Amino acid sequence: MTQQGKFILFTLDEFASWLDNLILHRKISLIQNHHTFLPDYKAFNKRKTDKYFSWLVSMEAAHRERGFSEIAQNVTTFPDGMLAICRNFETVPAGIKGANANGICMEHLGNFDLEKDAMTEAHQHTIVTINGLLCNKFKLGINTNSIVYHHWYDLNTGKLVAEGTGTTKTCPGTNFFGGNTKQACQQNFLPLVKEALIAV
Ligand SMILES: [Zn+2]
């Protein structure tokens, strides 16, 4: 574990024990999954030293420019499977319009649209496991009511919309574990989260 300012960098195991000991006063009912789009894997790998913290600082600067008070997400996951706490878990994130009040916002560093970054195995393992750990911690079912993708929400109304309707982003990517639809999540992603939880 290393800390720079508010950012705390963890291995998955370190995060698991940190989460275990966490006492949170905010009610959590939604685990949000996003991709950063930019930086993507290429940008991440280009920085040879201090790449985790320097990208967190860069992302925070970009979010401040967009009018946020600080970095938008509670958690960032990295291509090599490391992860970082960003915005304090007690603070409501700025992840999905209409779905932040009881949300934990996770940004997975990369661009997971079709034909963009091929997610590493280490990154897959961290993403799958952290979704399971968070559901476990906050006593949420492993289903699409608790684990959500940004793509399912209309950007203007903040409401869940049917696939192919409304104004939506592709986030967390059209190839995020084989697709960004609710159906793809149920078929490809949630079974992995359930498996990961059994393995923990
Ligand atoms: Zn997003």
Tell me the CA–centroid distance for residue 185 and ligand 1, in Å. Answer: 15
Under the banding of pLDDT at 50, 70 and 90, the label for residue 162 is very high
In this prediction, residues 113-122 reach a mean pLDDT of 98
Neighbours of 6 (CB within 10 A): 14
74: CA distance to ligand 1 center in Å?
13
Average pLDDT over residues 109-120: 98
Q: What's the CA-to-centroid distance between 200 and ligand 1, angstroms? A: 27
- Helical H segments across 50-179, by residue range: 51-65, 121-137
Distance of CA 147 from the midpoint of ligand 1 (Å): 13
Mean pLDDT over 163-177 rounds to 97
pLDDT score recorded for residue 198: 82
CATH numeric code, 2-199? 3.40.80.10
Q: Are 73 and 130 in contact (CB under 8 A)?
A: no
> What residue type is assigned to position 154 of the chain?
D
Q: Please give the structure tokens belonging to residue 130.
A: 């952290």
- Structure tokens, 52: 């985790």
Upper half-sphere CA count for residue 103 (Cβ side, 13 Å): 25
Under DSSP, is residue 31 helix (H, G, I), strand (E, B) or coil?
strand
Cα–Cα separations (whole angstroms), residue 51 to 1, 35, 71, 80, 110: 15, 17, 17, 11, 14
Q: 97: CA distance to ligand 1 center in Å?
A: 10
The whole-number pLDDT of residue 96 equals 97
For residue 12, report the distance from its CA to the centre of ligand 1, in Å.
Answer: 22
Residue 197 has pLDDT above 90, yes or no: no
- Angstrom distance (rounded) from CA 172 to CA 164: 16
How far away, in angstroms, is 37 Cα from ligand 1 center? 9
37-91, pLDDT tens digit by residue? 999 999 999 998 889 999 999 999 999 999 999 999 999 999 999 999 999 999 9
User: How far, in Å, is the centroid of ligand 1 from the Cα of 117?
Assistant: 16
Quote the ligand 1 centre to 116 CA distance (angstroms).
16
Give the mean pLDDT of the chain.
97
Cα 10 to middle of ligand 1, angstroms: 22
CB 170 within 8 A of CB 180: yes
Residue whose C-alpha is closest to residue 6's, from 42, 57, 67? 57
Which residue's structure tokens are 């993708």? 149
Report how far ligand 1's centroid is from the alpha carbon of 1 (Å).
26
Measure 23 CA to ligand 1 centroid, in angstroms: 27
According to the model, what pLDDT value does residue 191 have?
98
Domain boundaries, the chain: 2-199
> Does position 199 have pLDDT exceeding 90, yes or no?
no
The amino acid sitting at 120 is T
Please, which pLDDT band fits residue 144 given cuts at 50, 70 and 90? very high
pLDDT for 97 equals 96
Contact 45, 111 (CB under 8 A): no
